[in-house]
Amino acid sequence: MRKFGAVIVSLFLLYVLSYVGVRSLDGAITGMRFHRGPHVENLVVPPPQPAPPAIWPLPNAPLTAVPAPTPSRSLRVVIDAGHGAPENPGNTSVFCEPEQEFTLRTQDEIVRRLQSRSFLEVRAGRPSKALLPYPDRKDAAERWPADAFISLHSDARAGDGWAVHPETRCYVGLGAPGFSVLYSDEGDPVLVERRRRLAQRIAVRMEEAGFPAYSGIDYGGLYDADAQAGVFVDRHAPKKRIMMLRRPKIPSVIVETHQAVDPEEAARWNEPRTLDAFAAALAAALVDVAES
């Protein structure tokens, strides 16, 4: 009987405890509801932030057509489509385009844009698809005479390594984007200084426009880096040095506009805004050189 009484007492205590527990839980839930209201109302939602600018060569990476000051005299420039010389088609892009076709198309676009500048007289170094030996281009530019000879090329460097594009089967290299400007320090010091100055001003103006300079990671033994980022001096073995950098009697440089094996960069160089920004950078650089 005593045992029965203990069971009854235990059951009663269990009932009381469970009742209190349920009420407490209910209170806690109610409390939570009560407290959550003001927190939600006080939440400060930050305004939407503008997306950071895309980094070159991604689409929509910002480019600027830098303004060119008006020079005190008119200037003559040859814009040359690199390669397109006998047995010299140049590289093959990630889209399997021969370099000589890219340079011809780009030359024509840049010539057309620069011809709209009143202070520039512009000629194409390779006026048609017909193959044209480099000595002929050099002679024509010297006869005119041009103030500057700018040969357009694209580069094809491995950077971090090569791969094969899954669709085109042509080579891809992603680790070395950017432009480079090449010159020769061989010969008459006055002419060398004019070449260097032209190369440096083109690089400065291209960077100002938003084109990044190539690091030179693959240039060991071929070119030395200049003090100006993106500018390199020809260091090929003497018999392999680039004729169009060392022979013309007028200042001549090569602009490697981009890496043809980088799919994004190659795509950007087919866009009118890229050509607009590049043409403006060249115009500004030519004025910089003429006025210095």
> Which residues are at the interface with Zn ion (CB under 5 A)?
82, 90, 153
**At closest approach, how far in Å is the CB of 136 from Zn ion?**
18
Which C-beta is closer to Zn ion: that of 75 or that of 141? 141
Which C-beta is closer to Zn ion: that of 153 or that of 246? 153
**At closest approach, how far in Å is the CB of 120 from Zn ion?**
24
The secondary structure element, H or E, covering residue 171 is strand 171-172
> Where do runs of H (alpha helix) occur along 116-159?
134-143
**At closest approach, how far in Å is the CB of 173 from Zn ion?**
15
At 240 the three-state DSSP class reads helix
**At closest approach, how far in Å is the CB of 89 from Zn ion?**
9
The pair of structure tokens assigned to 130 is: 């017909």
The dihedral of CA 159, 161, 167, 169: what is its sign? positive
Which C-beta is closer to Zn ion: that of 117 or that of 179? 179
Residue nearest to Zn ion (CB): 153
**At closest approach, how far in Å is the CB of 153 from Zn ion?**
3
Which C-beta is closer to Zn ion: that of 57 or that of 82? 82
Whole-number Å distance between alpha carbons of 155 and 35 = 65
**Hey, which residues does 234 pair with through a beta bridge?**
223
Which C-beta is closer to Zn ion: that of 153 or that of 205? 153
> Where do runs of H (alpha helix) occur along the chain?
2-42, 99-115, 134-143, 189-209, 243-246, 263-268, 272-291
Distances (CA, A) of 288 to 69, 72, 209: 8, 11, 15
**At closest approach, how far in Å is the CB of 99 from Zn ion?**
5
Q: For residues 229 and 213, is the Cβ–Cβ distance under 8 A? A: yes
Q: For residues 216 and 155, is the Cβ–Cβ distance under 8 A? A: no
The secondary structure element, H or E, covering residue 81 is strand 75-81
Cβ neighbors of 20 (< 8 A, separation 6 or more) are none
**At closest approach, how far in Å is the CB of 61 from Zn ion?**
24
